[in-house]
C-alpha cells in the first residue's frame, strides 16, 4: 500500500501520465501493465492517459518501443527495434480502456508479422517486418495469446451489445 501510494503520488507527470521514473517525463512500455495487472482500474483517467500516450508517443509505425533510447541511458548503444511483447501489451491495454477498434487493428497487424511457423522474435523492425533479437521469444507468445483473447472477448461483447466501444471493460 505504501509503495502504491508513493507511485501514485510521484510517478505521474503533469498530463496525468505514468512515467518511466520519478521527476522525468520519459515514457516506458511497462506502464501498459498498469491495467493488465490491475494496479489501477481501466476507467482511471491516468490509465487511459498513459495507454494513449504510449500508443501515440512511444511507437514507431504503430509498434511499441520499450522506451526512447535518446532519453534513457540503458548502457547499450545503437538503435533498437520495436518490442513485440510491448506491442501485444498495447493491444490488451487498448481493449481495457475501450479502444477496441484500435486494438483489433493493431492485433491484426501484429499477427501478420508472425514467422512462417507463427512464431515471434523479441523485436520487429516495423519498416521491413524483419524479426530481431531472441527468436522465438516465449514471453511474446504469452502476450500474444492474452491480446488475442482480449480482442475476441471485446468484439463479442460489442456485437452482443454488452459493451460500448470507447468505454472501459471493467
pLDDT at position 160 is 72
The number of angstroms, rounded, from the C-alpha of 160 to the middle of its chain's C-alpha atoms is 26
Q: How far apart are CA 156 and CA 158, in angstroms?
A: 5
DSSP 32: G
Q: Identify the burial level of 129 via C-beta atoms within 10 angstroms of its C-beta, where 0-12 means exposed, 13-18 middle and 19 or more buried.
A: exposed
Residue 151 cell numbers, joined: 480482442
The reported pLDDT for the residue numbered 147 is 95
Around Cβ 34, how many Cβ atoms within 10 Å? Answer: 22
Q: Name the DSSP class of 60.
A: E
Instruction: For the chain of 170 residues, list the mean pLDDT of each consecutive stretch of 10.
Output: 94 94 92 95 95 95 82 61 93 95 95 93 89 90 94 83 60
CA triple 104-125-106, angle to 5 deg: 5
Q: How many CB atoms lie within 10 A of CB 11?
A: 19
**pLDDT score for 102:** 95
Q: Determine the Cα–Cα distance for residues 100 and 94; give it in Å rounded to an integer.
A: 7
Amino acid at each position: 500500500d505504501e509503495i502504491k501510494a508513493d507511485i501514485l503520488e510521484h510517478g505521474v507527470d503533469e498530463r496525468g501520465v505514468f512515467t518511466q521514473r520519478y521527476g522525468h517525463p520519459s515514457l516506458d512500455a511497462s506502464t501498459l501493465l498498469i491495467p493488465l495487472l490491475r494496479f489501477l482500474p481501466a476507467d482511471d483517467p491516468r490509465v487511459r492517459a498513459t495507454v494513449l500516450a504510449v500508443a501515440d508517443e512511444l511507437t514507431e509505425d504503430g509498434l511499441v518501443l520499450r522506451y526512447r533510447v535518446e532519453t534513457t541511458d540503458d548502457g547499450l548503444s545503437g538503435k533498437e527495434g520495436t518490442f513485440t511483447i510491448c506491442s501485444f501489451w498495447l493491444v490488451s491495454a487498448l481493449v481495457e480502456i475501450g479502444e477496441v477498434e484500435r486494438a483489433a487493428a493493431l492485433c491484426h497487424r501484429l499477427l501478420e508479422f508472425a514467422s512462417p511457423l507463427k512464431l515471434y522474435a523479441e523485436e520487429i523492425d516495423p519498416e521491413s517486418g524483419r524479426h530481431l533479437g531472441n527468436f522465438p521469444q516465449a514471453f511474446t507468445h504469452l502476450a500474444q495469446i492474452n491480446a488475442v483473447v482480449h480482442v475476441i472477448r471485446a468484439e463479442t461483447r460489442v456485437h452482443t451489445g454488452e459493451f460500448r466501444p470507447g468505454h472501459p471493460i471493467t
